[in-house]
Amino acid sequence: MGLWRKIMRTGRVAEPAPARVPGEAPSKAAELAGSVQIRHVDAGSCNGCEVEISSAFGPVYDAERYGARMVASPRHADALLVTGPVTRNMEMALRRAYDAVPEPRLVIALGDCARDCGVFAGAYGVAGAVSDVVPVDVEVPGCPPEPEAIVAAVRRLTGR
């Protein structure tokens, strides 16, 4: 009962949906028509981006309301959400994860490290940016990107 009262008292915490940020959507996203399943791949991130991702999918920003959902297997996914510079140990794993996604498939490079290796550029354990390993469709800048930016990127894919 305590939980019920708390639910009633708290009510809705999701912020009202902001207006869609204009920006061209990748052409493949049109086929998905409002439903994007996302498989998250941590290719060597410091976990800063992960904190923001869980916040983007949490109650306040609620990325799920735009038709996006995190899934457990790349087979179920339409998009890979890749964070971090691609380390040597994760390079093959990322390729295989990409290969496991059925067409049409998209890749979101999330955070500065994923876009251009960030502060890790040139480090001995880093194989390169995400775009060096798999084709990237959407990039989200920031270190880490704010949840609003993540939600906006997701909305470009779902089109909602």
Partner 1 sequence: MVTGALGTGLQVIAVALGSPLLVGVMRQVRARLEGRAGPGIGQPWRDLRKLLRKEPIAAHGTGWPFRAAPLLVAGTALVVAAVVPLVTTVSPLDGVADLFAVTALLALGSVALALGALDTGTAFGGMGASREMAVLALVEPTILVSVFALSIRVGSTSLGQIVTATVEDPLAVVSPASVLAAVALAIVTIAETGRIPVDNPATHLELTMIHEAMVLEYAGPDLALVEWASAMRLSIFLGLLSSLFFPVGIATAGAGVLAVLLSVLVLVGKVAILGVLLAAGEVFMAKLRLFRVPELLAGSFLLALLAVAASFFLA
Partner 2 sequence: MNLVGTLFVASLSCCALAAAAALTAPAKARLWLAGLCTAAAGACGAAAGVAALAGQSWSAWLPGLLPLAGARLALDPLSGAFVVVTGTVAVCAAIHGIGYCRHGLDGRVFQAVLPVFVASMLLVPAAASVSTFLLAWELMAVSSLLLVLAEHRRNTSVRRAGLWYAVMTHLGLVAILVGLVAFAAGAGGESFAQLREAGLPPAVKTVVFLTTLAGFASKAGIVPLHVWLPRAHPEAPSHVSALMSAAMVNMGAYGVVRVGLDLLHGGPAWWWLLVLAAGAVSALYGILQAAVSSDLKRLLGYSTTENLGLVMVGVGAAGFLAATGIPVLATLALAAALLHVVNHAAFKTTLFLSAGSVLYATGVRDLDALGGLRDRMPYTTALFAAGALCASALPPGNAFVSEWLLLQSLIHAVPGSGVAGAVTMPLAVGMIALSAGLAVATFVKAFGVGFLARPRSAEAGRAEEVPPVMLGGTALAVACCVALAVAPTVVVPALGRAVAVVFPGRDVVSGELTLRLAGVSGVVSPLLIAVALLVSVMAVLVLVRVAATRRARRAARLWDCGAGPMSARMEYTATSFAEPLQRVFDNVLAPESDVDVTPMKESAYLVERVRFHARVPDRIEHRLYDPLIAAAAAVGRRARVLATGSVHRYLGYGFWALAGALVVLVVLW
Q: Which is nearer to partner 2, 17 or 92 (CB)?
A: 92
> Does residue 87 contact residue 126 with C-beta atoms inside 8 Å?
yes
Q: Which is nearer to partner 2, 47 or 73 (CB)?
A: 73
Total residues contacting partner 2 (rule CB under 8 A)? Answer: 14
Contacts of 101 (CB under 8 A, 6+ apart): 39, 74, 75, 77, 78, 79, 80
Q: Which does 34 bind (CB under 5 to 8 A by kind): partner 1, partner 2, none?
A: partner 1
Q: Which of residues 64-93 bind partner 2 (CB under 8 A)?
A: 73-75, 90, 92-93
Q: Which is nearer to partner 2, 101 or 157 (CB)?
A: 101
Name the site residues for partner 1 (rule: CB under 8 A).
3-4, 7, 10-14, 17, 31-35, 37, 59, 62, 64-67, 69-73, 75-76, 78, 100, 102-104
Residue 32 Cβ vs partner 2, minimum distance, rounded to whole Å: 12
Residue 13 Cβ vs partner 1, minimum distance, rounded to whole Å: 4
Q: Which of residues 94-153 bind partner 2 (CB under 8 A)?
A: 94, 96-97, 99-100, 102-103
Assess 18 for contact with partner 2 (CB under 8 A). no
Whole-number Å distance between alpha carbons of 40 and 125: 21
Residue 122 Cβ vs partner 1, minimum distance, rounded to whole Å: 33
Whole-number Å distance between alpha carbons of 62 and 129: 28
* Burial of residue 131, with CB atoms counted within 10 A of its CB: 0-12 exposed, 13-18 middle, 19 or more buried: middle
Contacts of 128 (CB under 8 A, 6+ apart): 85, 86, 91, 117
The continuous run of DSSP H or E covering 90 comes out as helix 88-100
The continuous run of DSSP H or E covering 154 comes out as helix 147-158
